[in-house]
Structure 1
Amino acid sequence: MNDSPDKREAINRLKEQTAHLSIISNTGLVVMKFVVGFAIGSVSIISEAIHSSMDLLAAVIAFFSVKKSAEPPDAGHSFGHGKFEDISGLIEALLIFVAAIVIIVEAALKILGGNERVFSPTLLYAGIAVMGISVLANWYVSTRLMKVAKETESIALESDAWHLRTDIYTSLGVFAGLILIHFTGLTILDPIIAVAVGLVILNAAVNLLKRSFADLIDHSIPKLDEDRIKAIICEHASEYAGFHGLRTRRSGPEIFIEFHLVVPGEVSVTQSHDLADHLESDLLVEYPRANVTIHIEPCNKGCNRCGPFCTYYEKQEKQKQHKT
């Protein structure tokens, strides 16, 4: 079984509260960056405002996706609604990709136009201050998002956290660029920094697209996790003959684990069921959002389905070694 209803409700409430925090933070940053960016006429700050707008949209999508994915299975969705988080990650990635292209094109046109303007020192200070506030706010919110994402295995919150971490680096770049403009007067640095911001955002979008798409097509969970699952099963090797056909996949915060457990023919149905329950409980200790399906099979001595995980196979190998 999965988490208790009370624990699951607490997890879902925590996810929604954290996603809501991201919405509030991004809304404030978007307004500040657009106001200051247009006041100065800085394409790098405006590009950061566009970036934060995408983060805001991503936060809104994440908020609604975690609410939807938290809904229990129903007649039309017997495996739950976890894929809503994967879909949200894909939509967020596409939006970020478009934003990056717009930023790069606009900045490139500014560079090719060669029209430099003088920035007001007072407004330039305001731009530097806004970028500094953006770095601090996004650092706090992204750290919070990532912590909750890891605790709840939420790809939607993790995607949102990565967006904000990307924003930290780009905001730092704009922050440093504005300081350089202040001391050197080279306003051409403004669109050059904007191009760099766009390229960083583009890279983040591509990585997120890959991950979201992998989960949507039921990609297996990482090999390290599959090896750990095998190790947990093997801790009870003395109680069964072997296992085979391990399959895994992820659906939003949920993971699905399936395998065939081969037991000696003389083991009763009750004993086999108890063993399956025990294995499921052990797996849920490390993977609390797992849905475990175990198919019990009687052992047909001499087959090769279980391979090195078969205790009968292991005994045969030891006998061969002993004879040699």
Structure 2
Amino acid sequence: MTARGTEERLNLSAGLASVAVALVLIAAKLWALFQTGALSVAATLADSALDLAMSLGALAAIAYAARPADDDHAFGHTAAEDLAALAQSLFILVSAALIGGAAAHRLAEPAAMPVREGAGIAVMGLSIVLTVALVGWQRHVARATGNRVVAADSLHYLGDLVPALGAIVALWTSRRFGVSWVDPVVAIGAALLMARGALVIGRAAWDALMDRAVDAETVAGIESVARGFPGVRGHHDLRTRRSGGRVFINLHVELDGDQSLHEAHAIGAALKRAILARYPGADVIIHKDPV
């Protein structure tokens, strides 16, 4: 299987895992709601339903981006990932603002921590375990493929995880020491974490949609492969961009104009293979000019 095919399988596995976790949590929280009638459980149920909608959207974007190039999309469909990541980052920013505002209100007007029923505590524990596993897998996939949709979805679930852990800590400290400010402080910290991550992902998605060149380190790496490559006398007009998790590279190389076309083609093909060995899954076009 090609490197691109492996990345697509990893991205799809992360999307499917996200949808599966959301479905399991919805079922568990529905059971807990019928068992306890607690409004806190109803609120987390609504949040999980929203998670499912976001995850389905992310999965659809990943699946669409994996479609091969066609007559209408000669460079593939990977821009769908950047559009989805940009939309997710905006949603996460709004969520962070709402969480931060609610936490600030609770700090200004502290209220007693609600007592959770046993079923609610069990479901929250299940939610934390599944979310930790999901976020861990999504982070692994995002590092391996550079997929911003997976990274944004991971950030979204991390935003659910941190307040859940904070709520358990706040509940324990409230019972043990009578402290009520821990929960809103943890929520504000989670909101700031979400906002920072959303800005990073949103900016990267925006840069990709605007065809911004890839990072300087990658550009330098491409040039280092081309520089001094056997048969290559020089290079110029290196152009790069990123779409989804894929890097597009366009490079002009200078060759001996007196050699045969077969020899020139062999040098260009070998250079392309060398670049792909360093950046698997990239789309590389080599233009050959006489020195």
Give the TM-score normalised by structure 2. 0.84
Residues 263-290 of structure 1, C-alpha deviations (whole Å, 9 max, x = no match):
1222222211111111111111222211
**Structure 1 residue 51: Cα displacement:** 6.2
Residues 131-181 of structure 1, C-alpha deviations (whole Å, 9 max, x = no match):
443332222112222323333442222332333344443333222112112
Structure 2 residue matching 1:229: 3-state secondary structure: helix
Question: Could you say if the C-alpha distance between residues 40 and 107 of structure 1 is closer, same or farther in structure 2, counting changes exceeding 3 Å?
Answer: farther
1:208 matched to 2:201? The reply is: yes
Partner of residue 242, structure 1: 234
Counterpart Cα distance in 2 of 1:76 and 1:105 = 45
Partner of residue 152, structure 2: 159
Alignment of 1:129-140 (within 5 A): 129-140=122-133
Question: Could you say if the C-alpha distance between residues 200 and 32 of structure 1 is closer, same or farther in structure 2, counting changes exceeding 3 Å?
Answer: farther
Alignment of 1:216-295 (within 5 A): 216-236=209-229, 238-295=230-287
Residues 241-275 of structure 1, C-alpha deviations (whole Å, 9 max, x = no match):
10111111101122110111011222222211111
Mapped contact 1:221–1:249 kept (Cα < 8 A) = yes
Question: Could you say if the C-alpha distance between residues 110 and 30 of structure 1 is closer, same or farther in structure 2, counting changes exceeding 3 Å?
Answer: farther
Mapped contact 2:234–2:253 kept (Cα < 8 A) = yes
Structure exhibiting the larger radius of gyration computed from Cα positions: 1
Amino acid at match of 2:242: R
Amino acid at match of 1:294: I
Question: Could you say if the C-alpha distance between residues 274 and 151 of structure 1 is closer, same or farther in structure 2, counting changes exceeding 3 Å?
Answer: same
Mapped contact 1:170–1:200 kept (Cα < 8 A) = no
Alignment of 1:121-136 (within 5 A): 123=117, 128-136=121-129
**Structure 1 residue 229: Cα displacement:** 1.3
Question: Could you say if the C-alpha distance between residues 204 and 9 of structure 1 is closer, same or farther in structure 2, counting changes exceeding 3 Å?
Answer: closer
Structure 1 residue matching 2:249: 3-state secondary structure: strand
Counterpart Cα distance in 1 of 2:218 and 2:5 = 26
Structure 2 residue matching 1:250: 3-state secondary structure: strand
Mapped contact 2:86–2:206 kept (Cα < 8 A) = yes
Mapped contact 1:259–1:293 kept (Cα < 8 A) = yes
Mapped contact 1:82–1:254 kept (Cα < 8 A) = yes
Structure 2 residue matching 1:220: 3-state secondary structure: coil
Question: Could you say if the C-alpha distance between residues 211 and 291 of structure 1 is closer, same or farther in structure 2, counting changes exceeding 3 Å?
Answer: same
Counterpart Cα distance in 1 of 2:89 and 2:47 = 12
1:107 matched to 2:103? The reply is: yes
**Structure 1 residue 91: Cα displacement:** 0.7
1:77 matched to 2:80? The reply is: no
**Structure 1 residue 42: Cα displacement:** 5.1
Counterpart Cα distance in 2 of 1:153 and 1:210 = 14
Q: Does 201-210 or 82-91 show the bigger shift?
A: 201-210
Taking only aligned residues, the RMSD between alpha carbons, in angstroms, comes to 3.0
Give the TM-score normalised by structure 1. 0.77
Partner of residue 310, structure 1: none
Question: 114, 117, 121: which one pairs with 1:119?
Answer: 114
1:88 matched to 2:88? The reply is: no
1:67 matched to 2:63? The reply is: yes
Counterpart Cα distance in 1 of 2:193 and 2:121 = 20
Amino acid at match of 2:152: S
Question: 113, 134, 143: which one pairs with 1:141?
Answer: 134
Aligned residues: 288
Partner of residue 298, structure 1: 290
Amino acid at match of 1:68: Y
Counterpart Cα distance in 1 of 2:28 and 2:99 = 18
Counterpart Cα distance in 2 of 1:130 and 1:179 = 17
Amino acid at match of 1:176: V
Counterpart Cα distance in 1 of 2:27 and 2:184 = 21
Structure 1 residue matching 2:69: 3-state secondary structure: coil
Structure 2 residue matching 1:239: 3-state secondary structure: coil
Residues 52-78 of structure 1, C-alpha deviations (whole Å, 9 max, x = no match):
555444322221111101111112111
Counterpart Cα distance in 2 of 1:194 and 1:278 = 54
Q: Which ranges of structure 1 fall in alignment gaps of 5 or more residues?
A: 300-324
Mapped contact 1:54–1:99 kept (Cα < 8 A) = no
Question: Could you say if the C-alpha distance between residues 136 and 54 of structure 1 is closer, same or farther in structure 2, counting changes exceeding 3 Å?
Answer: same
Residues 11-31 of structure 1, C-alpha deviations (whole Å, 9 max, x = no match):
534432331111111333356
Mapped contact 2:113–2:174 kept (Cα < 8 A) = no
Mapped contact 1:50–1:99 kept (Cα < 8 A) = no
